[in-house]
């Protein structure tokens, strides 16, 4: 049954997440470099260092530290960020909406773009047009979001200066929000000019993240569509007199989406991972940007919180993909 499969997968994933958390916890403390050494000024005495370490609980045995942390996690307390001096939960809740909006928008753009090109390529199959699409797509599959981001900067900040380089919104306008979901809130409350401003800041990071995913979608979906188009039921529909585009959308697409979905889901987790560098490039205040600083500064509580958060997001994505694949397959729904 569908529910059983999902629960099973979720349990496995949570176990893996727990394992990852343990590994990261241990790794951070075992290998040289700790937050205290990142913070102290050169002239600090040994006593000062020891006091700081005790302050952050870093002088305790490993197991004790772990136990304290786990107790906190179970109760919903992820500790206090050493560099930001705030609750880790607070920091994450503050920054997560920005990344969620970015990832969601990138997903929408990737699906729309990738889907359209895949359909176009299917309509043009066995013609020169398809060869062009395949060739371009082949190159696009090679290029990571990092390169796209930089290229977009050159294009829209230098060559045709129309987009802002950094941030999420013009600082002046940042005051009027109740939630941290700037884009959603501004659209929902009808403040479209404000939404436009947010979008102009999101445009480049979104496109940079979306293009690699779109390229993967084009390759997978086009392949599945072409396989579906030679099936008998498409032939019968053609004999009923339907046009080519209608055949692709009405008959082939729903059969082609399933095989595409699983690998697209995997690729989407890469997109989430990509926010780490893309947010950095555009100084976009999300959790990705947070991660780099946290790691460089060895902010243990923050790093651990981020690892758990990213892991949790990946689990959700995988479950979401599993559910969608099952939902789309009539054989699984009505056995």
Partner 1 sequence: MTMPRLAIEALSAVSLRDGNRPILRRVSLVVGTGEVHGLVGESGAGKSTIAKAILGIIPSQVRVTSGRIGFEGRDLLSLSSGELRAVLGRDIALVPQDPSTALNPARRIEAQMTDGLRLKRGFSAAEARRRARALLDEVQIRDPDGVLASYPHQLSGGMRQRVLIAAAFGLEPKLVIADEPTTALDVTVQKQILRLIRALQERHGTSVLFVSHDLGVVAKICDRLTVLYMGKVMEQGSTAEVLTSPRHAYTRALLAANPRYDRPDAGLEPTPPAVVAALRAEIAAFDASAAGAADG
Partner 2 sequence: MEYRAPQPATAAVDDARRPPSVAVRLARDPKVVCAGGFILVLIVLALAAPLAAPQDPLAQNLLMATVPPVGFTGAEPGFPLGTDGLGRDVLSRVIYGTRVSLTVAFTAAGLACLIGSLLGLVAGFFGGVGDALISRLVDVWMAFPPVLLSILLIAVIGTGLHSVILAIVVIDWTRFCRVVRTETMGQAQMDYVVAARAIGFARPAILFREILPNIAPVLIALLTLEMGIAVVVEAILSFVGLSVSSDTPTWGGMIAEGRQIVHEAWWVLAAPLAALFATVVAFNQLGDGLARSLDPVLRR
Quick check: 238 binds partner 1 (CB under 8 A)?
A: yes
Contacting residue, 26, 235, 283, 296, with partner 1 by CB under 8 A: 235
How far is 319 from 316, CA to CA, in rounded Å?
5
Shortest spacing between CB 249 and partner 1, in angstroms: 12
DSSP three-state, residue 74: helix
Helices 253-281, 300-328: inter-axial angle, 10-degree rounding: 170
Contacting residue, 5, 6, 20, 187, with partner 2 by CB under 8 A: 20
Binding window for partner 2 (CB under 8 A); candidates: 72-80, 97-105, 213-221, 287-295: 287-295
For partner 1, the closer CB: 66 or 242: 242
β-partners of residue 87 are 80
Are 303 and 294 within 8 A, CB to CB? yes
Quick check: 55 binds partner 1 (CB under 8 A)?
A: no
Quick check: 232 binds partner 1 (CB under 8 A)?
A: yes
Shortest spacing between CB 238 and partner 2, in angstroms: 28
For partner 1, the closer CB: 181 or 242: 242
Give the per-residue SS3 of 150-216. HHHHHHHHHHCCCCCCCCCCCHHHHHHCCCCCHHHHHHHCCCHHHHHHHHHHHHHHHHHHHHHHHHH
What are the tokens at 155? 């294009």
Contacting residue, 16, 250, 293, 316, with partner 1 by CB under 8 A: 250
Residues that bind partner 1 (CB under 8 A): 231-243, 250-251, 254-255, 328-331, 334
Residues within the interface to partner 2 (CB under 8 A):
13, 16-17, 19-20, 24, 27-28, 31-33, 138-139, 141-144, 146-147, 150-151, 153-154, 157-158, 165, 269-270, 272-274, 276-277, 280-281, 291-292, 295-296, 298, 303, 306-307, 310-311, 314
């Amino acid at each position: 049954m569908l529910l059983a499969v999902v629960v099973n997968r979720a349990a496995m994933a949570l176990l893996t997440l727990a394992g990852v958390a343990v590994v990261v916890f241990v790794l951070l403390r075992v290998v040289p470099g700790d937050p205290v050494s990142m913070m102290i000024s050169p002239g600090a005495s040994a006593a000062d260092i020891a006091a700081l370490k005790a302050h952050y609980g870093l002088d305790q045995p490993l197991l004790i530290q772990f136990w304290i942390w786990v107790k906190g996690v179970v109760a919903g307390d992820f500790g206090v960020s050493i560099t930001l001096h705030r609750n880790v939960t607070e920091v994450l809740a503050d920054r997560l909406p920005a990344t969620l909006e970015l990832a969601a928008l990138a997903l929408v753009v990737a699906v729309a773009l990738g889907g359209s090109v895949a359909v176009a390529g299917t309509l043009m199959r066995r013609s020169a047009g398809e060869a062009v699409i395949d060739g371009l797509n082949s190159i696009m599959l090679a290029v990571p979001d990092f390169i796209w981001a930089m290229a977009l900067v050159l294009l829209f900040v230098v060559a045709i200066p129309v987009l802002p380089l950094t941030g999420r919104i013009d600082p002046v306008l940042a005051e009027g929000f109740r939630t941290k979901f700037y884009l959603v809130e501004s659209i929902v409350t009808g403040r479209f000019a404000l939404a436009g401003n947010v979008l102009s800041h999101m445009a480049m990071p979104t496109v940079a993240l979306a293009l690699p995913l779109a390229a993967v979608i084009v390759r997978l979906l086009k392949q599945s569509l072409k396989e579906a188009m030679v099936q008998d039921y498409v032939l019968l529909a053609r004999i009923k007199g339907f046009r080519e585009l209608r055949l692709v959308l009405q008959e082939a697409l729903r059969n082609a989406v399933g095989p595409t979905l699983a690998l697209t889901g995997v690729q989407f987790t890469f997109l989430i991972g990509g926010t780490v560098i893309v947010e950095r490039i555009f100084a976009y205040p999300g959790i990705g940007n947070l991660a780099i600083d946290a790691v460089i500064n060895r902010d243990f509580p923050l790093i651990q919180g981020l690892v758990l958060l990213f892991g949790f997001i990946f689990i959700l994505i995988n479950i979401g993909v599993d559910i969608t694949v099952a939902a789309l397959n009539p054989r699984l729904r009505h056995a």
